[in-house]
Structure 1
Amino acid sequence: MRAMQVTELGQPMKLRDIPTPDPQPGQVLVKVHTCGLNFGDLLIIKGTYQEKPQLPFTLGMELCGTVVAVGEGVTAVATGQRVAAYCGFDALADYAAIPADVCVPVPDQMSDEDAAAFLIAYGTSHVALDYKAHLKAGERLLVLGASGGVGLTAVELGKLMGAEVIAVARGDDKLQVAKAAGADHLINSDSADIREVVKSLGGADVVYDPIGGDQFKAALRACNPEARLIPLGFASGEVPQIPANHLLVKNLTVIGFYWGGYTRVNPKVLTDSFETLITWYVAGKIKPHVSNVLPLEQANEALDLLKTRKATGKVVVRIAG
């Protein structure tokens, strides 16, 4: 089968022919239709992600496909079933052998592109805002990186949950994408003083931050008393150091959050979240924003759209059918 593999850290992936895997006990073999790309994929190629697989390896954290074989002991997933899955690796290939318990049934009305763009972005934002930050209707939510894969879903879900949403992104074009997702206020990070604008709007009660660096520092200083901050990524390249005295004076809470970790420590958090999110999708309340769909042969170009921040929402690679 074809697989887009990392053979050397820091270098472009190579399209290689490798053996089709057999599903092991507890696994299913999925014929991959589409793969959703994520910022974490860029970190994996650089060797700076939390998980460091042995070279060579196949990239691709999430997929949509059809189950073509099941391993020993698998009863909850059947051959012929269309599923989405957060698998961590192996999705940029014709087939992927993945744990059955990470598979989520895909409703008929959800396209392959939407399904591949759904789990990580919406799952991250929903668990962060609902389970971790306990966002309440009427609160003011500040979303940094609001036009990106996870940031855009935070805008959409925050609005759906009743918050007043402030979206921060680079450039007017990206801000218009955030506005279409439901943002009430727009801040251009290229030209505006984030702290001053947020304070003029009444301050932030919850901060959703996949960016880090100077934007986190500005957001911290724009928080209301008892605000909650969720640092969930550092796309700026700078991990901010948090002054404890600022937390003390305003009774602030900084919430550590790694969505993928729940697959090991408490998977029910994710399955409950997916159930809610898919119900909202079927009801027409949420819809993934996919800015680009490219074939497997152009997976390096697809990743470059993320790296250069030319994409909005999600980038999807189509593998089959």
Structure 2
Amino acid sequence: MRAIRVATLTGPDDVELAEVDRPSPGHGEVLVEVAFAGVTFPELLQTRGMYQTKHELPFVLGSEAAGVVVEAGAGSRFSVGDRVAAIPGTGSFAEFMVVSDEQTVPVPDGISLAHAAGMPMNLLTADFALRIRAHAKAGQSILVHGAAGGLGSAAVQMALAIGLDVIGVVSTEAKAQTVRELGATHVVMADGFKDTVKELYPNGVDYVFDPVGGDRFTDSTRVLAPYGRLLVLGFTAGEIPSIKVNRLLLKNISVDGVAWGAATRERPGYIAEQWDAIAEYVAAGQLNPAIHAAYPLAQAAAAIGELDSRSVQGKVLLEVKGE
């Protein structure tokens, strides 16, 4: 089968389209014919050996995908013909992937496999951040950095589904329009966001959702309301910020790490529990990712490069078999 393989840790331009053996499912696993694969920031980092999870070279790239089960291993809860989305962690940039039941969820009727491929990692991370780590409630407010990107736009939709006021932070007017179309309560530009947000919410916001890091971090603490929480999800800006902890004392605020992947590894069945918790939002179309672009499998390097350019508005996909 065809697959996108990382043989050297020299960046996305050097990934290779290769012929590899088609895998076979074991006990509690399924073989999925991949329709679409989602392109995520971890893939960019993995091509450079910068991600916390390391794989022995060469390896097939890809963290998530959606498709149809073509073979079910013994003991699997899925059947041939089931439409599924999955989070194997690696191996989804291929015509077929093997994934465990623990990492696989059913795709509801009415949801396209293209949109389903863009859901698992971003939606479940956003759910983990807002529902599990923050205990967010309707009527509260949240500022979302990188609101037009894959993870940021998922957070915007999740927060709106819960009933929060959402302030999306973006870097261009084109991205601002994308976030407005998602339904954000307010959209502000990254340059000078602190002052703008303070005008909108003089007492501050309840949460800041931050997958960006870098030089926005300190101003993010300044826009929090008393008892507010800054949710740290990553550092796409490249710089890991630090904070003087006396800032936390001034308004009784906190900084919370959000490591969804680590949580799922510690709790078997957790992905299915989360998927069930957000199922009504998914079925209602409230958590439907905007698709920035879909590239053919052979153009994986260009697809990953989109994330490196910081130009993405929504979700980048690889089209493998298609619908």
- Shorter-chain TM-score: what band? over 0.9
Map 1:1-321; keep pairs closer than 5 Å: 1-11=1-11, 12-72=14-74, 74-189=75-190, 192-202=191-201, 203-321=204-322
User: What is the TM-score with the length of structure 2 in the denominator?
Assistant: 0.95
Q: CA deviation at 1:217?
A: 1.5
Cα distance, 1:303 vs structure 2: 0.9
Structure 1: stretches of 5+ with no match in the other structure: none
Structure 1 vs Structure 2 CA RMSD: 1.4
Matched to 1:60, the amino acid is: G
* Unaligned stretches of 5+ residues in structure 2: none
- Contact 1:146–1:155 (CA under 8 A) maintained in structure 2: yes
Partner AA of 2:125 in structure 1: T
Per-residue deviation at 1:149? 0.4
- Give every structure 1 segment of 4 or more consecutive aligned residues whose post-TM-superposition deviation is greater than 6 Å: none
Amino acid at match of 1:66: V
Deviations 1:168-223 (A, max 9, x none): 0111110111111121222111xx31221222222221010000011122111221
**How far off is 1:263 after superposition?**
2.1
Query: What TM-score comes out, normalization by structure 1 length?
Result: 0.95
Give the number of equivalent residue pairs.
Answer: 318
Query: 8 Å contact 2:9–2:49 — kept in the other structure?
Result: yes
What displacement does 1:278 show?
A: 2.8
CA distance in 2, matches of 1:256, 1:159: 22
Partners of 1:127 and 1:269 within 8 A in 2: no
CA distance in 1, matches of 2:82, 2:277: 21
8 Å Cα contact 2:102/2:271 also seen in 1: no
Deviates more, 1:206-215 or 1:121-130: 121-130
SS in 2 for 1:5: strand
State how far apart, in whole Å, the 1-side matches of 2:306 and 2:77 are. 37
Query: Could you say what secondary structure the match of 1:16 adopts?
Result: strand
**Aligned residues: percent identity?**
38
Give 1:262 shift. 2.3
Q: Any conservation in 1 of the 2:194–2:223 contact (CA below 8 Å)?
A: yes
